[in-house]
Each structure stands twice: as structure tokens, then as C-alpha cells.
Amino acid sequence: MTATIVGAQLGDEGKGGIVDVYGDDADVVVRYQGGDNAGHTVVHEGTEYKLSLVPSGAVRGKVNVLGNGCVVNPRTLFDEIDALRERGVDPDVRVARRAHVIFPYHRVLDGIEEEAKSETGDEVGTTGRGIGPTYEDKAGRRGLRIGDLTDPDVLRKRLEYVVPIKRTLAEEVYGVDVEEKRETGSPSPNDGADGVGPAFDVDALHGAYREYGERLVREDMLVDAGDFLTDRIDDGANVMFEGAQGTIIDIDHGNYPYVTSSNPTAGGASTGTGLAPDVVGDGDVIGIVKAYLTRVGSGPMPTELGGVPGDTPGYDGDPENPETASEELAHRIREAGNEYGTVTGRPRRVGWLDIPMLRHAARASGFTGLAVNHIDTLAGLDEVTVGHSYTLDGEAVRTIPPTTERWAECEPNLRTFEGWPEFDGSEAAEAGYEALPENARAYLEYLEDELDTPVYAVGVGPARTETVVRHSPF
């Protein structure tokens, strides 16, 4: 049996927590896309773990797989594994030989391109982890796969082809002095100072990445993801696909170009693991919804309440010192929900729930169930509002228009619900769904109706014990 966890919005919906809640009954947890751009928070036995690459199942002693659809920075991988070991967790992590490798030059180029775009205010606000440049090389057939790290000759041959191209791109197109970067460092912690060596030097890269390959072999981490997972499923294992990011930053279904470079939507669980679509479709596909909306980075957000300078187009206020009533609300929700980046600590943009966005997400992934998080964060407000539809060119629109420019022109048609009082999350989780405040249930039932999908779980606090579970996918 499988279950797929997909972010329904713009990332940070609380996917890590839901993977953890359902993880008890999962035997294998698989990431199928993205890399260390994710930031998943898991609270287990009172301890908080922040993971960016290793699947959330790691803290619960599950088998964890990074599928072929992932881009893997080996340094992050081993740093996370080592850090977990220091905390007494010994994660079992397998990596697909077909996954692509993030090299230091990808991270440097990510920074260079963002910098160039920022001159016209067009930067995406990436995480700087080299995600886009690595997928670009994958599609351009000049990438290196994890399996290539274990063959020193292949590794050298491929690096000798690609590194001069990257160096020329940096120097000739962007006018960046790569040699200077070597001396002064760069946005990438992988560049120079930590023993990996200069980002654009074939010999240095070969030496360091060959060693990563040796460690992957030594620790018996390499798999053919499709075969490995098929064997597990044939043996009766429950497999959970842990999506990273979210539908609206999906490269195909998101608001291009303000997207990540992979497919967080459910189709990615098939292409990113080597399992057939019906294997994914046989199980539940659970859309993770935050009860309001947050966004990291640039791009439209029709239901935005309060901005973040540099991310919200045209906004130069101070999120910590709200001036208007809606900024005040955004500030209150940001504080109550701890809406600061898991990895970067930067404040997230905050807005009301966007229902056209969720209709689009439910269709793109075929949600069979929803997990709605942060119902506690909205508690205590007099009223809770959603963007029920948009008005575009004078017409009511029920889903997101395909171009980002048109989406930015959408005016939300708001619908207001009565608020609900504060309540004890652990008690509510214990007592079950019916014990939730009536107005909170009305809000959840509105969502069920609009998306024609049942609510499987409700997040009422950050801890594992603070989730109301109505239905389990396994």
C-alpha cells in the first residue's frame, strides 16, 4: 500500500509533521523530488528535528529513500546523517543511483543568476541550494548522477565536459570572476573553505566527490529506487511518498517562473521513484493544506495580508512593525504560527486561504483526502476569511489562471467565517474531531465541500500529539 503526501499551496504546509503522524504505519518513506531546498520540521518524543534532505521517516527508524527524481547534495546528506547520529538516531537512508548530484558550481550559479535577476527585481527568491541549475543540467543531458560518483573514470570524464561550460557561463555571460570566488568564498558553503575545494576546479571536485561515492558504497546506501521499492511493496511494506515544496511552486502546475524546478504534484511520485502511476494511484493522495497561506520568495499572492520587503512585489514596509489592520493580522498569524523559514529564519508572507488555488491543487494531484494544519493558529480571531473565488476582467473565476501575470490581476472575492476560541491542542487530538470548536468544524466542512475531498487529519499544534486523526491511509 502507498500514500502520497503533497503540499497543496506554496510549501511549508506542515508536510513533515503529517508524514510523521502517519509514519507509524509506514515502513518506507520516500522523497521523489527536490533536494535540500525543503525544510521539514518533525517533533518526535519532545525533540524537534529540522530536515532538509533526509526524509522525515529518519527520526522514526524507517527505511528512507531519496528517489531518482531528487537532486542530492552529498555534503548536506552526510551532514544531516551525521547530525542525526550525534543525537542518537541512526537513520537508514538509501539513494537512487539515478538521482542527480548538486555540485558546488550549481550553488554558485544559483546565486549568480538570482543576483543578475535582482537588478530588475525579477529574482525568484530561491533557497540558493543549486536546485534550478542542477535540474537544468539534468534536462540538458550534462548532469551527473549519484551512480557516476562511484566510477572515478566516468566522474572525471563528465566533470571535464561540464565544468568548463559552467566556468564559461559564469565568466563570460555573467562576468563573474570565478578565481576571485575561490579566494573570497561564495554564497556556497561548499566552495573552498570546507575541504571540497574550489567550485569550478575539476581536480578538486573529482577528489571530493569520488570520496562521497566511496562513502555511499561503504555504507551500502545505493539503490535502483524502482526495483528497491517494488520489492518492498511485494513484501507487503507500506510506502509513503513525502512530497517537498507545494503545488503552486511546481514547475508545470505552479506560477512559473516563481517556482522550484521539480514536480511536487502527485505525478512526480511516479516519475521520481520508478513506480508506475497505478502504484501511486492505488493509495491515498493526501493534500496538505495550511489553514491560511504563507509564501517564501517572490510572485503574486492575491489574498496576501502583510508583505515582506524583497519578496512582496512593491512592498517596503516592516513586517515586525505593522501599520495597517491587515498587516497587524498578518503579524499576529506569523507570530502565532511561527511563520519564519525552517532553514533560513526569514519571515514568510502571510495571507488568507486561497480556495481557487486549492481547487487547482486538488485537480492536479487528485487528492483523496486532506490534512488541514494550523487550525490552532487562527484560534482567537473574531473572524476568519478565505478567498472563495477571484474576479478577473469583471468575471468570477473559480481556479488559478495559467499565467502568473493574469493571476496577479485577480482580485479575491472574500468569504468570512465566524472565528473559534482558543483550545487545548493535545486534548482536542485525544477527544477527536467532534471535540473541535464548532466554528472550526464549519470552516473545515466548507473546505471539504469546495474541494469535494474529506478531511483526514487536522493539525491543532506543532507537536505530533496535536493532530486530530480521522482516517489513516494505511
- The contact set with ligand IMO (CB under 6 A) reads 7, 11-12, 37-40, 124-127, 129, 131-132, 244-246, 249, 258, 260-261, 296-297
CB 59 within 8 A of CB 82: no
Residue 358 CB, shortest distance to ligand GDP, in Å, is 15
Residue 133 CB, shortest distance to ligand IMO, in Å, is 9
Residue 34 CB, shortest distance to ligand IMO, in Å, is 7
- Give whichever of 406 and 441 is closer to ligand GDP, judged by the CB atom: 441
Rounded to whole angstroms, how far apart are CA atoms 55 and 81? Answer: 11
Point out the catalytic residue in the list 36, 40, 148, 311: 40
- Of Mg ion, ligand GDP, ligand IMO, none, which one does residue 126 interact with (CB within 5 to 8 Å by kind)? ligand IMO
- Give whichever of 238 and 373 is closer to ligand IMO, judged by the CB atom: 373
Judge whether 12 counts as a catalytic residue.
yes
In the chain, what's the furthest Cα-to-Cα distance?
Answer: 66
Q: Dihedrals φ, ψ of 364, to 5°?
A: -65, -35
- Give whichever of 56 and 389 is closer to ligand GDP, judged by the CB atom: 56
Q: Dihedrals φ, ψ of 319, to 5°?
A: -60, -25
Rounded to whole angstroms, how far apart are CA atoms 51 and 48? Answer: 10
Report if residue 287 touches Mg ion, rule: CB under 5 A. Answer: no
Judge whether 449 counts as a catalytic residue.
no
- Of ligand IMO, ligand GDP, Mg ion, none, which one does residue 457 interact with (CB within 5 to 8 Å by kind)? none
Q: Which of 2, 12, 262, 466 lies at the binding interface for Mg ion (CB under 5 A)?
A: 12
Rounded to whole angstroms, how far apart are CA atoms 180 and 161? Answer: 22
DSSP 8-state secondary structure symbol assigned to residue 248: G
Do you find a cis peptide bond into 257, omega within 30 degrees of 0?
A: yes
Sign of the C-alpha dihedral computed for residues 385, 389, 395 and 401 taken in this order: positive
Q: Dihedrals φ, ψ of 395, to 5°?
A: -110, 150
Report CA dihedral (31, 35, 39, 45) to the nearest 10 degrees. Answer: 40
CB 67 within 8 A of CB 94: no
Report if residue 123 touches Mg ion, rule: CB under 5 A. Answer: no
Number of residues that bind Mg ion (CB under 5 A): 3
Residue 297 CB, shortest distance to ligand IMO, in Å, is 3
Neighbours of 324 (CB within 10 A): 11
Residue 131 CB, shortest distance to ligand IMO, in Å, is 4
Residue nearest to ligand GDP (CB): 459
- Give whichever of 39 and 347 is closer to ligand IMO, judged by the CB atom: 39
Residue among 99, 128, 137, 107 at smallest CA distance from 260: 128
- Give whichever of 296 and 329 is closer to ligand IMO, judged by the CB atom: 296
Active site residues: 12, 40
Provide the binding-site residues for Mg ion, judged by CB under 5 A: 12, 39, 342
